[in-house]
Amino acid sequence: MSKKIHIRLANHRVNSSVAVYSRVPKIFTPGEIITPQNEFMRGHGTYEEDGNLKSSVAGVREQVNNLISIRPLKSRYNGEVGDVVVGRITEVQQKRWKIDTNSRLDSVLLLSSVNLPGGELRRRSVEDEHMMRQYLQEGDLISAEVQSVYSDGSLSLHTRSLKYGKLGQGVLLKVFPSLVKRSKTHFHNLPVGASVILGNNGFIWICPTIVNSEDSVGGFIQNLEEVIPRQQRETIARLRNCILSLTQSKMLVFDTSILYAYEESLKYEICELLQPEAMVDVALLTQQRLCMLEE
Amino acid sequence: MALCEAEKTFVLHGVEENFRIDGREREDYRPMELETSIVSHAFGSARLRLANTDVLVAVKIEVDIPFPEKPNEGKIEFFVDCSANATPDFEGRGGEDLAIELSNSLSTAYQSSRAFDLSKLCILKGRKCWKIYVDILLLECGGNLFDAVSLAVKAALWNAQLPLVKSVHVDGNNIEMDVSEELYDCQKLDIKNAPVMVTVCKIGDYCIVDPNQAEEKCSVGSIVVAVSGDRLSTVLQTGAGSLHPTTLVESMKLGHTVGQRLNQALWEALQQIPEDQDVGFLK
Amino acid sequence: MTIDHKRINGPEETIPYELFQKLNTKSLTTQFNECSKDGIRKDKRKTDEHRKIFITTGVVSQAKGSSYIELGNTKVIVSVFDPREIPNRTDYSLKGEIDCEFKFAPFSCPKRKLQQQDSEEKHYSAIMKQALESAVCRHEFPNFQVDIYALVLHNGGSALSAAIIAAGLALSHAGVPMYDLITSVTLGLQNGEKLVDLTLEEETLCLSPIADSKSHGIVVLSLLSTHEQVSQFFQTGNLTLEDVVECTHLLTKACKDIVPLIQKTLAKHVVKNVKESI
């Protein structure tokens, strides 16, 4: 391990872009006319003025049938029912928890939408209300699913499945929500020896592999005694740095891209992955492998 | 940013294992980026970026009258501005305490004449001297401010050009100075021994340098060590929490060795800067 | 602190006449040798000897707790007021806060001090706060702050240490729950000598280096003695690592030596109150 401290000059900054396609899609800027007709439906990131549909954010156009929306690169998370999210408790209130999920408003988790210890069908008593802080307190992390979206856009979450619940030891990463690819499952037990939860809201949780998912997740117990062995730590740290490399180069994060990046990064020491050159290199190699996969 | 107990435990065990959450060892720094001569109105300037921390330092030089108690010395003053651009918490007077803490630590670190010799800034004893204003602007706050600020200050002072005084005429109460008109006829400041600061954080039973924000949250106490050459120019404790005398001594030793390495790294980076560099910003 | 326009502030800058005397022409080395010769200092103390301390409580009758300390010529009054809700704060803080104000009286130093806090005083306030924070059980008064005011009546050196000792005593006099008694000592290095409990003259001498390469500087350390915890450490100057380490040991010992005196003062205060109440 080199004990060297790296101070680089700004002239030597590396360009982190790895775009291989020469075709850049049309980028709309706020106020730009998308289409003069008004037979289209107004989606997110657009507004109507003088019969024209205009963009309100900088981003690319997306069209589903008659619905036109502009998707920006950076945005707060727009929740949809069924999304998997990772969030942090910010406040304990009467019969509900407030949760920071990187969306515009704080999300809520109702006491009635969690599985309390002692069976699913247990009645919620007054004691449970007093015990709320014992289950989840400020600062705790949870994984959950979006149950419904209120009219003001705030989300209501639920953890009524054994795979959701309080998170134990691990590392949280925050990336742009748009960089997390939507897929069937967002819980991955990677073959390299760690689990990741890719929250749709851009919060990514990396933790040691969960062996028997029945009794470790879904509950409110954290094992603070357990010391995670060095080898697993290395895997987690490498995954963390790989995901950061991908997001630095604005590449989508999903199980295959993470695995490829992990494999490509093996030629570097873990802490070398903090260097910009190594980060771009990993991202580039991953990009190439993903392209080959498509072909 | 709040952290839950399990995350703290993970960080803590990692530090014990000498393998931190981003793969660094206890004594490792994150890579930094340095840029000099970026503000053309200033005599010298530098910008340093360490992960999410971004600091811009500009040096202005003026002619002033020396303090009566120190007629042979010039003056140096540090001003820290916590811009609300960095975090909304700094809005209004929010960042004042932090700014005072930073500028005080810098002025005590530069106090000894071995760290920075003010007598070279004297033009005419008791009458005229140079006064250096060091303005520090925090553009972004991502932890480990002391280290980043001290490095940027040192780089900005290295970059500074002191106008060359050719001759001084005294005529009664009037003092006339003849400053060289040649634009490039300048002096550089001697900053070989200017201090750099290292924040040493105690997590569990061990000490680490360059903590990220999660690690700062887990810390039970931290000290800032300013290293000038192979000596210590300032040691001060920051944040809440107290330390056992032996831990204090150990963290000072760690800060001392790391500080020398940091100094070396900065020096090497400064040597690489090309002479005829364009003035720019955020290249 | 805001500027008080109604107060007559006096001249902004004053220059003590001593500076124009010809005495100042002596070199630093001779000045220092006069101060400390063969391990005996000007006031006939040994290098590791503390000045005589006088300390008492209850000097400010309207404050919740107060104390007065004399450390040789240094005289400091500290008063502590009732906890009050933290002003201008919206979020709830689980731990109470400590607010310190360290102030030199205008006439306390050779140079006249202004009514407003200057940067040195602000720095000392921050150091005091740092020192006292870990001594007080802050969790016992959530969302409240305790105000501590230290006023130096005469600066005869080691004023910061004196203020910290007095503040610790004033806090316990006020009945604020504390983990431990706090003591603090200032030490100066110059020309290879380590001088405990500096006078003002020694303090100025320790700040600038004498021509050779030996360490010079000032170290202030505050100790929670029963827990063996250093609650505050501050060093300035130019020291080798070995010197700092040695100073730390010297200072820890010196801090422990003062503790019985503080205990005695507190006990005396309690006994006196009990007797009065009978």
Can you give the residue ranges of every domain in chain C? 51-86+97-277
pLDDT score, position A216: 44
Locate the chain B residue with the closest alpha carbon to C111.
Answer: B69
Q: Is the pLDDT of residue A219 over 60?
A: no
Q: Which two tokens stand for residue A131?
A: 């015990």
Q: Which of A168, A233, A273 sits opposite B17 (nearest CB)?
A: A233
Distance between CA C80 and CA C101 in Å, rounded? 11
| Token pair belonging to A76 | 């707060």
Taking CB atoms and an 8 Å cutoff, what residues of chain B touch C240?
230-232
CB contact under 8 A, A237 and B262: no
Summarize pLDDT for C163-175 with one digit per residue, the tens: 999 999 999 999 8
The answer to whether residue A122 is domain-embedded is: no
Residue A1 clears pLDDT 50, i.e. is over it: no
Q: Is A34 helix (H, G, I), strand (E, B) or coil?
A: strand
Cβ <8 Å between B24 and A11:
no
What are the chain C neighbours of B235 within 8 Å (beta carbons)? 233-235, 244
Contact residues on chain B for A233, CB-CB shorter than 8 A: 14, 17, 19
Residues whose CB is less than 8 angstroms from the CB of residue C128 and which lie 6 or more positions away in sequence, other chains included: C100, C102, C148, C150, C160, C163, C164, C167
Q: Which residues of B touch C245 (CB under 8 A)?
A: 249, 252-253
Burial class (CB in 10 A: 0-12, 13-18, 19+), C10: exposed
Q: For position A32, which CATH number holds?
A: 2.40.50.100
**Considering only CB atoms, which chain A residues are within 8 Å of B204?**
none
**C119·B233 Cβ contact <8 A:** no
Confidence at residue B147, expressed as pLDDT on a 0 to 100 scale:
92
**Angle (nearest 5°) at CA A18 between A56 and B36:** 85
Q: In what order do the strands lie in the sheet with A67-72?
A: A27-28, A59-64, A67-72, A41-42
Nearest to B2 among A88, A269, A271 (CB): A88
Q: Is residue A54 part of a domain?
A: yes
| Residue C245, min C-alpha distance to chain B (Å) | 6
Residues of C (126-185) whose Cβ lies below 8 Å from B = 126-127, 130, 133-134
Tell me how crowded residue B278 is: count the other CB atoms within 10 A of its CB: 9
CB-nearest to A240 from B5, B22, B272 is B22
Least confident of A115-129, C92-106, C134-148, C210-224: A115-129
Least confident of A143-147, C11-15, C229-233: C11-15
- Does A9 touch chain B if contact means CB atoms closer than 8 Å? yes
Write down the pLDDT at residue A135: 81
Cβ–Cβ below 8 Å for A270 and B23:
yes
Average pLDDT in the C95-111 region? 89
Residues of C within 8 A of B72 (CB-CB) are: none
pLDDT of C9 reads 65
The predicted model gives C142-158 an average pLDDT of 90
Q: How many CB pairs under 8 A join B and C?
A: 105
Banded pLDDT at A215 (limits 50, 70, 90):
very low
- Chain B residues with CB under 8 Å of A136 CB are none
Q: Is the ipTM of this complex over 0.90?
A: no
**pLDDT band at residue C207, thresholds of 50, 70 and 90?**
confident
Residue A78 lies in a domain: no
- Share the mean pLDDT of chain C: 85
* C271: pLDDT strictly greater than 80: yes
Q: What is the mean pLDDT of residues A260-267?
A: 89
Percent of chain C exceeding pLDDT 90 equals: 31
Q: Quick one: residue A178, left, alpha or beta (phi over 0 = left, psi -120 to 50 = alpha)?
A: alpha
Which runs of consecutive H residues, i.e. helices, occur in chain C? 28-35, 119-133, 159-173, 200-207, 241-277
pLDDT (0 to 100) of residue A21: 60
Each residue of A101-151: pLDDT tens digit?
888 888 999 888 887 766 656 666 777 777 788 888 888 888 999 999 888
8 A C-beta contact, residue B109 and residue B197: yes
Q: Under an 8 A CB cutoff, do B249 and C236 touch?
A: no
Looking at the domain assignment, is residue A67 inside a domain? yes
CATH architecture observed for domain C51-86+97-277: 2-Layer Sandwich (3.30)
| DSSP class of A188 | E
Band of pLDDT at residue C4, cut at 50, 70 and 90 = low
Residue B93 three-state SS = coil
Asked if A171 lies within 8 A of B21 by C-beta distance, the reply is: yes
Name which of C64, C94, C92 is nearest C78 in CA terms: C64
Q: Within an 8 Å CB–CB cutoff, is residue C237 touching chain B?
A: yes
Question: Which candidate in A7, A9, A241, A282 is best for mutational testing of the B interface (most B CBs within 10 A)?
Answer: A7
Low-confidence ranges of chain B (pLDDT < 70): 1, 183, 276-283
A110 is a domain residue: no
> What value does the mean pLDDT take over residues A198-217?
74
Residue of B nearest to C208 (CA): B112
Domain ranges for chain B, please list them.
28-272
CA distance C129 to C133: 6
Closest CA to C256 of C171, C153, C185, C157: C185
Neighbours of chain A (3+ CB pairs under 8 A): B
Instruction: Answer for the pair B253, B42: CB distance below 8 angstroms, yes or no.
Output: no
> Do B265 and A6 lie within an 8 Å CB cutoff?
yes
- Whether the CB-CB separation of A97 and A129 falls below 8 Å is answered with no
d(C-alpha B263, C-alpha B196), whole Å: 7
The pLDDT confidence band at residue C105, using thresholds 50, 70 and 90, is very high
For C182, nearest residue in chain B (alpha carbons): B242
Count the residues in chain C.
278
B 62-101 near C (Cβ less than 8 A): 68-69, 97, 100-101
> Long-range CB contacts (< 8 A, 24+ apart) of B260-265?
B260/B227, B260/B230, B261/A3, B261/A4, B261/A5, B262/A5, B262/B29, B262/B147, B262/B151, B262/B196, B262/B198, B262/B227, B263/B196, B263/B227, B263/B229, B264/A5, B265/A4, B265/A5, B265/A6, B265/A7
Count of structural domains, chain A: 1
Alpha carbons A179 and C177: distance in angstroms, whole number: 52
Superfamily (CATH H level) for B28-272? GHMP Kinase, N-terminal domain (3.30.230.70)
User: pLDDT value at position C8?
Assistant: 67
Nearest CA in chain A to B210: A5
Judged against a pLDDT cut of 50, whether residue C82 lies above it is answered with: yes
Q: Is the pLDDT of residue A218 over 60?
A: no
Closest Cα in chain B, distance from residue C267 (Å): 26
Range name among A174-183, B101-110, B229-238, C9-18 with the lowest pLDDT average: C9-18
Nearest-by-CA chain A residue for B151? A7
Q: Measured between alpha carbons, how far is B281 from B150 in angstroms, rounded to an integer?
A: 20
Q: Which domain holds residue A43?
A: 18-72
- The enclosing H or E element of A60 equals strand A59-64
Task: Report pLDDT for A123.
Answer: 66
Report CB contact under 8 Å: B266, A240: no
Residue A71 backbone zone (phi > 0: left; psi -120 to 50: alpha; other: beta)? beta
- Indicate the average pLDDT of chain A: 82
The helix (run of H) or strand (run of E) holding residue A244 is: helix A230-248
Are the C-beta atoms of B65 and B129 separated by less than 8 Å?
yes
How far is the C-alpha of C245 from the C-alpha of C259, rounded, in Å? 22
